[in-house]
Amino acid sequence: MTLSPLAPNITHLSHTHTSELDAVAQAAEWLAGAQSVVALTGAGVSAESGLPTFRGAGGLWRNRRPETLATPEAFAADPKTVWEWYDWRRSVHAGCSPNPGHHALVELERAKSEFCLVSQNVDGLHEQAGSRRILKLHGDLWKVRCLTCGREERDTRVPIDPLPPYCSCGGMLRPAVVWFGESLSEETLRAAFDAASRADLVLVLGTSSIVYPAAKIPRVALERGARVIEINLEPTELSSSAHLSLRGKTGELLPEIVRRALGGAP
Ligand code: BJW
Ligand code: ZN
């Protein structure tokens, strides 16, 4: 298999296919040579820790799609139901630990002088694994914000009772996450796009790449000449544009790529 550094290549790999080894070797070589690396993570990175993803099989909660719950309109109409969903997710997350994919990203942060972890995940597993600097695009499941006084604070109660919870000022609390139709933090977003513009390699890990503006981050990097490597169980909106698209689990492929890139045995 020839993988030109200039022309995007798509590699659809089955786990047992020998070309997977070539692709892992190629990814490791590019990672080893990259000065400035960005990793963009999505729900798939936490799937091997036991957390459900948003879309696809297992992504439903009480027969409702997350897209219909993760909106300010759904919360305004029925805060109790939306809170019950978040309370359920918090209880699932509380029993989960980071997986080898999270740990590989910690190693990368330690090894690369310019490394930026940009995550769409709200679960806290990157921090738990030991990642230090994380640009959290969609907020934090373990924080709440008051609708009246705006105070935001860490809240790790599991379960929360009663639902919905209230602030000491009397205002209703909401999860401090970003719902559809809401703006992301301008500062965080700017930092993510700045990092993507400077990067010479972007790893896109376990995300369906359909939610904007996060999905634009690798696109900006591509326009600036960076290489993009995707790891996902399935093809995504990004796959045909990525230089390398590996089919598999991030918790299996990423540690192998990082091990090779950082000087492990070939
Ligand atoms: C594995 C695996 C394993 C599984 N290994 N892989 C431009 C064009 C069109 C629309 C828009 C646009 N700009 C804005 C919009 C609107 C909207 C949007 O993007 N809609 C699209 C759906 C079309 N965006 C917004 O509203 C954003 N705000 C915004 O842009 O403000 C300005 C504005 C407002 C209004 C109009 C225009 C502009 C806000 C987006 C907020 C997203 N929030 C959520 C919820 C967060 C809180 C919570 O957790 O509850 O964020 S939705 C949900 O999707 C969550 C995720 O972070 C996000 C992305 O999902 P992710 O991580 O990719 O998960 P999945 O499930 O989709 O995919 C998992 C993948 O893993 C799959 O591919 C699997 O195959 C794979 N996988 N196991 C490797 N082991
Ligand atoms: Zn308050």
Check whether 6 has a pLDDT greater than 70.
no
**Candidate from 180, 236, 247, 257 with most ligand 1 atoms within 8 A of CB, to mutate:** 180
Average pLDDT of the chain, as a whole number: 92
Burial of 154 (0-12, 13-18, 19+ CB in 10 A): exposed
Pair 209, 237: CB distance under 8 Å: yes
Q: Average pLDDT in the 67-77 region?
A: 94
- Letter string b/e over residues 25-46, b meaning 16 or more CB atoms within 10 A of that residue's CB: bbbbebbeebebbbbbbbbbbb
Distance of CA 32 to the CA centre of its chain: 22
Q: Strand, coil or helix: what is 244?
A: strand
Q: Which residues surround ligand 2, an ion (CB under 5 A)?
A: 146, 148-149, 167, 169, 171
According to DSSP, the β-strands at 173-177 and 139-146 are antiparallel
According to the model, what pLDDT value does residue 195 have?
98
- E strand or H helix at 247: strand 244-247
What is the CB neighbour count within 10 angstroms for residue 237? 12
Question: Could you say which DSSP state residue 191 is in?
Answer: H
Rounded to the nearest angstrom, the gap between the alpha carbon of residue 77 and the centroid of all alpha carbons in its chain is 28
- Over residues 96-139, the pLDDT tens digits come to 999 999 999 999 999 999 999 999 999 999 999 999 999 999 99
71 pLDDT tier (thresholds 50, 70, 90): very high
Residue 125 Cα to ligand 2 middle (Å)? 28
Reading the block at residue 37, the tokens are: 């690396």
What's the pLDDT score for residue 181?
97
Identify the nearest ligand to the CA of 85 by its number: 1
- Starting at the edge strand found earlier in the chain, the sheet holding 173-177 runs 152-154, 139-146, 173-177
Higher pLDDT, 149 or 3: 149
- List the structure tokens of 10: 């798509």
Residues contacting ligand 1 via CB (< 6 Å): 42-44, 47-48, 53-56, 59, 70, 120, 122, 138, 177-183, 206-208, 210-213, 231-234, 236, 249-251
What's the confidence (pLDDT) of residue 12? 44
Q: Are 193 and 217 in contact (CB under 8 A)?
A: yes
Give the global pTM.
0.93
Taking 50 as the threshold, does the pLDDT of residue 2 lie above it?
no
Which letter does DSSP use for residue 198 in this model? Answer: H
CB 204 within 8 A of CB 242: yes
| Mean per-residue pLDDT, 220-240 | 97
- What's the number of CA atoms in the CB half-sphere (13 Å) around residue 163? 17
| In the predicted structure, residue 146 carries a pLDDT above the cut 90 | yes
Mean of pLDDT values over 183-201: 98
Q: What is the pLDDT of residue 55?
A: 87
| pLDDT, tens digit, 9 for 90 and up, residues 74-90 | 999 999 999 999 999 99
pLDDT category of residue 264 using cuts at 50, 70 and 90: low
